[in-house]
Amino acid sequence: MGDRGISDVIGFVLVFGLVLSTVSVVYVFGIGGLQDTRDLERVNNAERAFDVLANNLADLYERDAPSRATEVKLADADLGFGTPTVVNVSVTNGGTTNYTRKEIDPLVYTADTATLEYVNGAVIRMDRDSGTTLRRPRTQFIMQAGDRVALFPIIETRAGDGPQRIGGSTTTLIRAQTVTSDVLLAKNDSVAGAANLDVTLNVTASDTTEAAVWAAYLEGDIPDSWDTDGDGDVCARTGTKVTCTLTVDQLYVPRTGITVRLA
Residue % of the chain over a pLDDT of 90: 72
The Cα–Cα gap between 73 and 50 comes to 11
Reply yes or no on whether the pLDDT at 186 is more than 60.
yes
**In the chain, what are the domain boundaries?**
33-262
DSSP 16: H
Range with the poorest average pLDDT among 93-107, 170-184, 192-206: 192-206
Is 50 exceeded by the pLDDT of residue 125? Answer: yes
For the chain, give the mean pLDDT: 88
Model pLDDT for residues 35-58, shown as the tens digit of each residue: 555 666 888 999 999 999 999 999
pLDDT tens digits, one per residue of 16-41? 667 676 666 555 555 444 455 566 68
Cα gap 228→243, rounded to integer Å? 12
Q: Where would I find the beta strands (DSSP E) of the chain?
A: 67-73, 77-81, 85-93, 96-104, 107-110, 115-119, 122-127, 130-135, 140-144, 147-151, 154-159, 165-168, 171-188, 197-204, 235-238, 241-248, 250-262
Does residue 75 carry a pLDDT above 90?
Answer: no
pLDDT digit string, tens, across residues 138-158 = 999 999 999 999 999 999 999
